[in-house]
Amino acid sequence: MKRLVSGLALLALTACGEAKAPETVATPPPPAGPAVKLYAMDCGRFTVKEAASFSDDGAYKGQKRDLVDPCYLIRSEKGDLLWDTGIPSAVAAVSPVEDDGSITTLTKTLEQQLAELNVTPADIEFVSFSHLHFDHTGNGNTFAGSTWIVDKDERDAMFSDAARKGEDFKQYGALEAAKTVLIEGEGDHDVFGDGSAVIVQAPGHTPGHTVLLLRTANSGNVLLSGDMWHIAESRETRRVPTYNFDKAKTLASMDKVEALAAAHSAKVIRQHVPEDFDALPKFPAPLE
């Protein structure tokens, strides 16, 4: 009798096991999917003597702040994407540059850093910038042979009559003839077509500012947030720089980017914040 009970118990356990099996099959963990490797390059550093312009509520008035200015190489089996190109490489020859108490430093050019990976500008399939400012498009012309992915509003601003007369135009004007993929309307752009690198519109800092959502194999999802936040504490305080193109759009984009990061459990990299840059593997090691 005892043995029979044991036998029944065993049957019950087996039945339980069998009953549970389909549940496990029905809710598998989401497939990881194709992933990219992220290389963080130092494409400039700033010590800003007066940080007041980084918030329109005066929070940073009279403060001195250090900012990093990275470029990112994103490598996929389907090609390479360069996200932001830093300040002009010519600065390296005269670095450090002091201007009214603020200091700009560039110790190694973008081309020199790419060469450490045996990559030349001609090898790069795709280039994209979070936005048009000089510290992100500084070497744009060097990548005019790549396919340029850009928000239509941002491209229009880059080639406006006023922009053509500016100093910054000299660094990116050749992109006008580049093979171009326009991001229009409310769309995102899936760079490699497999969800591993998606450019998402986040306007406000500039007319067509964008952020980049990446999937890595071992480190989860990462969100490069462009100039959504220049200063670490600007994220939680939702501070908006004085010189942003549109404050209401900036605040709406902050909400959008936070929701995007939460939905994908993505680690947010505030691109100008030294502690975020320093937390990434030191180049030439990638985050993967």
Binding positions for Zn ion, rule: CB under 5 A: 135, 227
Q: What's the closest the beta carbon of residue 252 comes to Zn ion, in angstroms?
A: 20
Residues whose CB falls within 8 Å of the CB of residue 222, separated by 6 or more in sequence, listed in order: 38, 213, 214, 216, 266, 267, 269, 287
Q: Which is nearer to Zn ion, 184 or 243 (CB)?
A: 243
Q: Which is nearer to Zn ion, 130 or 216 (CB)?
A: 130
Q: What's the closest the beta carbon of residue 93 comes to Zn ion, in angstroms?
A: 22
Q: Which is nearer to Zn ion, 54 or 192 (CB)?
A: 54
6: enclosing H helix or E strand: helix 2-26
Q: Which is nearer to Zn ion, 35 or 87 (CB)?
A: 87
Q: What's the closest the beta carbon of residue 248 comes to Zn ion, in angstroms?
A: 21
185: left (phi over 0), alpha (psi -120 to 50) or beta: left
Q: Which is nearer to Zn ion, 153 or 227 (CB)?
A: 227
User: Taking a C-beta distance cutoff of 8 angstroms, is the pair 201, 183 a contact?
Assistant: yes
User: Taking a C-beta distance cutoff of 8 angstroms, is the pair 134, 163 a contact?
Assistant: no
Tell me which residue of 3, 78, 68, 59 sits closest to 41, measured CA to CA.
68
Q: What's the closest the beta carbon of residue 213 comes to Zn ion, in angstroms?
A: 19
Q: What's the closest the beta carbon of residue 205 comes to Zn ion, in angstroms?
A: 8
Tell me which residue of 202, 232, 230, 214 sits closest to 288, measured CA to CA.
214
